Amino acid sequence: MAASVCSIAVFLLLIVRILGLVRTVQDQADQLESIAYLDGLTGIPNRRAWDAELERRLTVAQRHGATLVVGLIDLDHFKHYNDLLGHPAGDELLRNAGLAWQQQLRAGDLIARYGGEEFGLIMHCRLKDAAIIMDRLHEATPGGQTFSAGLAQWTGGESAQQLTARADAALYAAKRDGRNRFSVAGHPSYTDLQADFVSGVSPR
């Protein structure tokens, strides 16, 4: 009888230990998955997270008829900044900019490091509200630096790639027109919407 009780106790102890190991492995897997979606330098979501989240949010927006704006931000003259002050200073600027901009966003909006000195934004709003957010991000940019940005409002039928391509074209236009400004991709209600951070041109 005593031997049977002892065997049962050992068996239960083994079960507890196995369950503990399973939980530990699952926790580690969850941590690794979380790390895989974060940028190692800035600590904000990375390009992989951006791609997955944009697809998911477009699906939700399609289902509920919601409005969504994508933005691409590029720090102006970042290569020159790196060459002048060194890569550690450039890394610090990227880190500080990402965190400063993240703090200016509303709950539900997303900023991710898109690649290099470029960041991506997903905002659940209309273009006029996105323009206000751009001004807030401009004011929060650290170290006296500036950025150029391109915005595109989802038309309701385009893919994530098409939407991002329009935002990228708007970013190129902002750079072409002198940087330190944002430009908005052509839209039925807001054709050639653009604002210059320096001159204070308001969206039209």
User: What's the CA gap between 93 and 71, in Å, rounded?
Assistant: 20
Give catalytic residue positions.
117
Tokens of 148: 């150029």
197 touches 146 (CB < 8 A): yes
How confident is the model over 25-59, as pLDDT tens digits?
Answer: 444 433 434 558 999 999 999 999 999 999 999 99
Number of other residues whose CB lies within 10 A of the CB of residue 143: 13
181 touches 202 (CB < 8 A): no
Please list the ranges in the chain whose pLDDT falls under 50: 21-22, 24-33, 187-194, 198-204
User: What's the CA gap between 56 and 188, in Å, rounded?
Assistant: 25
Given the structure tokens 């720090």, which residue do they identify? Answer: 75
Residue ranges per structural domain of the chain: 1-36, 47-199
Choices 3.30.70.270, 3.40.50.150, 3.30.1780.10, 1.20.140.10: CATH for 47-199:
3.30.70.270
Number of other residues whose CB lies within 10 A of the CB of residue 85: 13
155 touches 180 (CB < 8 A): no
How confident is the model over 174-194, as pLDDT tens digits?
Answer: 999 999 999 999 743 343 444
Q: What pLDDT score was predicted for residue 12?
A: 64
Q: What pLDDT score was predicted for residue 157?
A: 87
